[in-house]
Amino acid sequence: MKRVAIVGGAGRMGQAMAEGLGALADVQVVALIDTHKPGDAFGARYERSLSDVDPSTLDVVVDFSNPEGVVSSANWCATNARGLVVGATGLDSAQMASVEAASMRTGVIMASNYSLGAALSERFAAMAAQYFPRVEIIELHHDKKVDAPSGTSLTSAHAIVDARRRAGLEPLGEPTQRFTLPGTRGGDAGDGVRIHSVRLPGLVAHQEIIFGGPGEGLTIRHDSFDRASFVQGVALAVRAVSSSARLTIGIETLLE
């Protein structure tokens, strides 16, 4: 039985994790950590800060708060030899360095998306990358998401770039000759792989990786219709992480 505290437990993702993880036979959610009181504690106790929690009462911290919260959780987990599973995105280089430093003292698993389907779509895209001359990514999220592009789309783009480089392919050139409206071609995530971000109410998390070649196209689409789609991936990470010093990026290796 893994005993879990969820940082950001009052947020949409935190509440989904508390409900989903708490329903599993081998996971016990013992605490929800947030500056705001959660709407539903799902049988766990509520604390405003990890510093209010006795480390002996839990095994793993799951953090879906924000970059600043992740740094605080990483330091706490490193000090108290507790595993850390990070779901928050948007960390800058200094914040990421803090997490990496913590991983030298305890186990840390980070992923931009804990959906099993998203992890598999990234794997499929890396497989396809060497066979198509062009590729672009469209990511679509709810209008409350604060960062763009999504961490998932950046991870997918980097996997595609790496696969193309391993295959000896050149960076993608830009076919557009005249821009009537600047910025309409999206952002370059590296080697010309473009990401286009959509933010609309009613969406949750969706992504299309679109490959094009002579006479054909391949679209790899993944849809998360509910935040419950992330529970199984987080559960894999919770089961896998330990206090042994290690940093794991993504859940792909947990699917093997």
Q: Say which DSSP state 113 is in.
A: -
Active site residue ranges: 141, 145
* pLDDT above 70 as % of the chain: 100
Q: What predicted TM-score, i.e. pTM, was given to this entire model?
A: 0.83
- pLDDT score, position 17: 96
- Read off the pLDDT of residues 132-141 as tens digits, 9 standing for 90 and up: 999 999 999 9
- Read off the pLDDT of residues 141-199 as tens digits, 9 standing for 90 and up: 999 998 899 989 999 999 999 999 999 999 999 999 999 999 999 999 999 999 999 99
Map out the domains of the chain as residue ranges.
Answer: 2-110+228-255, 116-225
What mean pLDDT do residues 91-102 have? 96
Domain 116-225: which CATH number of 3.40.50.1100, 3.30.360.10, 3.40.50.2300, 1.10.230.10: 3.30.360.10
pLDDT band at 68 (very low <50, low <70, confident <90, very high): very high
Q: Is the pLDDT of residue 112 over 90?
A: no
The C-alpha atoms of residue 37 and residue 229 are separated, in whole angstroms, by 24
What pairing do the DSSP bridges indicate for beta strands 205-213 and 216-224? Answer: antiparallel
- Read off the pLDDT of residues 139-154 as tens digits, 9 standing for 90 and up: 999 999 988 999 899 9
- pLDDT score, position 252: 87
- Dihedral in degrees, nearest 10, Cα atoms 75, 77, 78, 79: 80
- pLDDT score, position 212: 98
Q: Write out 160-216 in H/E/C secondary structure.
A: HHHHHHHCCCCCCCCCCCCCCCCCCCCEECCCCCEEEEEECCCCCEEEEEEEEECCE
The C-alpha atoms of residue 1 and residue 21 are separated, in whole angstroms, by 12
- Is the preceding peptide bond at 149 cis, omega within 30 degrees of 0? yes
Q: Is the pLDDT of residue 87 over 80?
A: yes
- Read off the pLDDT of residues 34-45 as tens digits, 9 standing for 90 and up: 999 999 999 999
> Any residues with CB less than 8 A from the CB of 222 and at least 6 apart, and which?
115, 117, 118, 121, 206, 207
The C-alpha atoms of residue 16 and residue 18 are separated, in whole angstroms, by 6
What mean pLDDT do residues 242-256 have? 91
The C-alpha atoms of residue 76 and residue 246 are separated, in whole angstroms, by 16
Q: Are 64 and 14 in contact (CB under 8 A)?
A: yes
CATH-assigned architecture of domain 2-110+228-255: 3-Layer(aba) Sandwich (3.40)
Average pLDDT of the chain?
96
Give the tokens for residue 122: 């990234």
Q: Are 96 and 22 in contact (CB under 8 A)?
A: no
- Read off the pLDDT of residues 209-229 as tens digits, 9 standing for 90 and up: 999 999 999 999 999 999 999
What mean pLDDT do residues 68-80 have? 98
| Token pair 């992504």: residue | 207
CA 116, 231, 241, 144 torsion: positive or negative? positive
The C-alpha atoms of residue 170 and residue 191 are separated, in whole angstroms, by 8
- pLDDT score, position 76: 98
Q: Is the pLDDT of residue 256 over 80?
A: no
- Read off the pLDDT of residues 43-58 as tens digits, 9 standing for 90 and up: 999 999 999 999 999 9
- pLDDT score, position 21: 97
What mean pLDDT do residues 74-84 have? 98
* pLDDT above 90 as % of the chain: 96
What mean pLDDT do residues 1-17 have? 96
Give the residue among 136, 135, 133 at the shortest CA–CA distance from 214. Answer: 133
